[in-house]
Amino acid sequence: MNTEVEPVHIGQEDDIDVGSVENFEHEEIDYAIFRLESGFFAIQGHCHCEDQAFLSESNVEGEELECASCGNTYSIVSGDPISDLELPSLKMYDIIEEEGEIYLNL
Ligand code: FES
């Protein structure tokens, strides 16, 4: 039995500008797809707080994201909290880049 999950096609690399983030929805789950100088990063689409803020609406500062709703900051590379170390880390997902296309590896 093949239990491997196929990577999900997100779009083309050029769809996301360097230093920005886009929301990507798959099977009613949101993901925040970041493009930095160092590559693509996928993070859970909403923060852990009650607000469930869209992380795709956050501000990107270098390798950090600043939540648009509360101002807390996290590492885009590791998902770890920066401004408030009591916060849980954000869940990260693998991105596959192939011939100008990007895929989410769930
Ligand atoms: S509202 Fe949850 S991290 Fe900002």
This prediction's pTM: 0.94
Question: Could you give the domains of the chain?
Answer: 8-105 (2.102.10.10)
106: nearest Cα among 94, 89, 97: 94
Centre of ligand 1 to C-alpha 105, Å, is 25
Closest residue by CA, ligand 1 atom 4: 70
Tens-level pLDDT at each residue, the chain (106 residues) = 556 789 999 999 999 999 999 999 999 999 999 999 999 999 999 999 888 999 999 999 999 999 999 999 999 999 999 999 999 999 999 999 999 999 999 9
Name the strand (E) or helix (H) holding 59. strand 59-61
pLDDT at 4: 74
Residue among 72, 74, 80, 86 to mutate when testing ligand 1 (max atoms within 8 A of CB)? 72
> Contact 39/58 with Cβ under 8 angstroms?
no
The predicted pLDDT at position 2 comes to: 56
69 pairs with which residues across the strands? none
